[in-house]
């Protein structure tokens, strides 16, 4: 019975993945882009490694981890073809648990975090790739550097020999209309292009999640981060009484 259940779960993941790829292709073609320039990342929060590995075997080899402890508990169970990146809010006291263990940190949003990452990378004699997270919606409840402060943070990051800034990331507000989403993603695309004047080496624009990835693709996203669209609704563990 358990085997049949896993087979059903695997089949559902593959069916969703097929639909996602078709929708990615349509969105990309609508603006003259190719899906070869867009990375589909599987967001693995609360998803068992066995299910994640179904997606990896099907070609989704980039994984996005939100929580440090969950990442550490699951990393050894992932298919070795997977490349793990960290996309969640990162506390400075947990930096050492992430640096050198992931290929890219998406969520660098303040100078204190940048300094800790650089310090940990220097201690390990490596260069840690990072993205700068932008609070494009200006929401008080969300992480990310404000757009008008991004230039200063980028300048600081470019001065650090132990990190390499690869691009920008954002988690936009929840939108009620497609028009609102388009306006927000357009601002992010414009900001990215503006930063590339100063830092032409930038090549990654990480934006777009399960509810808005098609719009993000139309506005230049190079990485889209999908969780529930790929794995289904999240099942959170019940708190122990």
Q: State the average pLDDT over residues 46-57.
A: 97
Tell me, yes or no, whether 241 lies in a domain: no
* In-domain check, residue 89: yes
Per-residue pLDDT, 241: 47
177-225 pLDDT, tens digit per residue, is 888 889 999 999 999 999 999 999 999 999 999 999 999 999 999 999 9
pLDDT digits (tens, 9 = 90+) for 147-171: 999 999 999 999 999 999 999 999 9
Q: Is residue 237 part of a domain?
A: no
In a domain, 239, yes or no: no
Residue 7, in any domain of the structure: yes
% pLDDT > 70, the chain: 96
CATH of the domain at 144: 3.20.20.10
Task: Provide the β-strand partners of residue 105.
Answer: 86, 130
Number of domains observed in the structure of the chain: 1
Mean pLDDT across 8-24: 97
Q: In percent, how much of the chain has pLDDT > 90?
A: 86
Buried b (16+ CB within 10 A) or exposed e, 87-109: bbbbeeebbebbbebbebbbbbb
212-229, pLDDT tens digit by residue? 999 999 999 999 999 999
- Asked if residue 149 belongs to a domain, the reply is yes
Is the pLDDT at 122 greater than 50, yes or no? yes
What's the alpha-carbon Rg for the chain, to the nearest Å? 18
Beta-carbon-side half-sphere exposure of residue 105 (alpha carbons within 13 Å): 32
Domain that holds residue 141: 2-231
pLDDT band at 238 (very low <50, low <70, confident <90, very high): low
Mean pLDDT on 104-119: 98
Q: Tell me, what's the pLDDT at 178?
A: 82
Three-state SS for 223? strand
| Residue 240 resides in a domain | no
**CB neighbours (10 Å) of residue 38?**
21
User: In sequence order, what are the residues at sequence separation of 6 or more whose Cβ sits closer than 8 angstroms to the Cβ of residue 59?
Assistant: none
Answer whether residue 4 shows pLDDT above 60: no
Q: Which tens digit of pLDDT belongs to each residue from 17-49?
A: 999 999 999 999 999 999 999 999 999 999 999
Over 50: is that where the pLDDT of 70 sits? yes
Around Cβ 37, how many Cβ atoms within 10 Å? 11
pTM for this entry: 0.94
Quick check: is 238 in a domain?
A: no
């Amino acid at each position: 019975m358990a085997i049949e259940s896993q087979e059903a779960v695997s089949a559902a993941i593959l069916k969703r993945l097929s639909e996602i790829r078709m929708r990615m292709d349509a969105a990309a073609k609508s603006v003259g882009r190719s899906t070869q320039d867009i990375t589909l990342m599987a967001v693995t929060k609360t998803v068992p490694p066995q299910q994640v590995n179904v997606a990896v075997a099907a070609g989704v080899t980039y994984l996005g981890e939100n929580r440090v402890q969950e990442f550490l508990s699951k990393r050894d169970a992932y298919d070795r073809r997977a490349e793990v990146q960290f996309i969640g809010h990162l506390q400075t006291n947990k930096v050492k648990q992430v640096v050198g263990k992931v290929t890219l940190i998406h969520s660098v949003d303040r100078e204190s975090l940048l300094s800790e990452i650089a310090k940990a990378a220097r201690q390990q004699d490596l260069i840690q790739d990072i993205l700068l997270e932008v609070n494009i919606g200006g929401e008080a409840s969300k992480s990310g550097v404000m757009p008008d402060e991004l230039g200063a943070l980028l300048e600081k990051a470019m001065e650090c020999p132990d990190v390499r800034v690869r691009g920008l990331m954002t988690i936009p507000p929840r939108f009620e209309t497609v028009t609102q989403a388009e306006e927000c993603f357009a601002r992010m695309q414009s900001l990215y292009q503006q930063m590339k004047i100063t830092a032409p080496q930038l090549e990654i624009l990480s934006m777009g999640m399960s509810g808005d990835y098609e719009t993000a693709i139309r506005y230049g996203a190079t990485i889209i981060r999908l969780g529930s669209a790929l794995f289904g609704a999240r099942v959170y563990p019940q708190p122990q009484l």
